[in-house]
Amino acid sequence: MSMLEVGGLTRRFGGLIAVNDVSLAVAPREIRGLIGPNGAGKTTLFNLVSGALKPSAGRVIFDGQDITGVPMHTLARRGMVRTFQHAQLYPTFTVFRNVLVGLHVHAHAGLLAGLLNLPAARQRNAALEEKAREIIRFVGLAGREDDIAGSLSHGYKRILQVAVGLAPEPRLLLLDEPVAGMNHADVDRMMALVHSLRDQQGITVVLVEHNMKAVMNVCDRVSVLHFGRLIAEGAPAEISQHPAVVEAYLGVFDDDAA
């Protein structure tokens, strides 16, 4: 069974067809890249899959269940989490508190017990604090727990966003341009984290990205959109030589491409 299936997905905005009859399937524990020139429909497709938009036609299946049009907050509880291109953090909170807030949002606990500071609530809070430290260690932010999120470099802000996204223990993580604007060291750090998400946590990852070198180095398979249509799909080596893809990208797949 696929972790994610998209069947005939279409989205129209008036006379514009932003996503046009797209079908694809992502296997469990796969790292799938979604690429295409600007305006190809990548973000719209992400918005349809993640519940930010409802499709004009087609359906989305997550882990065997039809989730077409289900809102993002509900999908997060079911195990699908989407990050955004611009890090959505509490900039005045510490790294630790940002992750802890994410854990509290997704924790199932009684409000009354928390307000009354009952033993069960104190025990739960201690468990959440330990979980926050565990996530921070996993993403490589150990030692930065007390840093203010707004003071972090761009690369570490994006890593913190992934850490917050791990709070609901997702089985599928949708990453929207995870290395956009990063230097080479930050790109390497993020791509190593993406591999760890799959290899150590068993998380299936789908990422939209313009950095072709990162996509080709980290993804198991790549799907290519152009003018809203899926024009190619395959292993990175196949995609880099696919005539339609090379034409769409005007030959960007060379050894020096970033």
Domains located in the chain, CATH noted = 1-79+170-258 (3.40.50.300), 87-169 (3.40.50.300)
Closest CA to 173 of 256, 84, 108: 84
Amino acid identity of residue 49, one-letter, is V
102 pLDDT above the threshold of 70: yes
Lowest mean pLDDT segment, chosen from 20-24, 101-105, 222-226? 101-105
> What is the reported pLDDT for 250?
57
Distances in whole angstroms, Cα of residue 56 to Cα of each of 9, 19, 34, 75, 111: 8, 9, 21, 20, 39
The predicted-structure confidence for 43-95, as pLDDT tens digits, reads as follows 999 999 999 999 999 999 999 999 999 999 899 989 999 998 777 899 999 99
Q: What is the pLDDT of residue 229?
A: 96
C-alpha 30/C-alpha 195 separation (Å) is 10
This prediction has a pTM of 0.89
Span 182-219, pLDDT tens digits: 999 999 999 999 999 999 999 999 999 999 999 999 99
Q: Give the pLDDT of residue 120.
A: 65
Distance CA(89)–CA(102), nearest Å, equals 10
Mean pLDDT for 29-35 is 97
Closest CA to 5 of 37, 35, 30, 36: 30
Residue 106 pLDDT > 80: no
d(CA 106, CA 177): 24
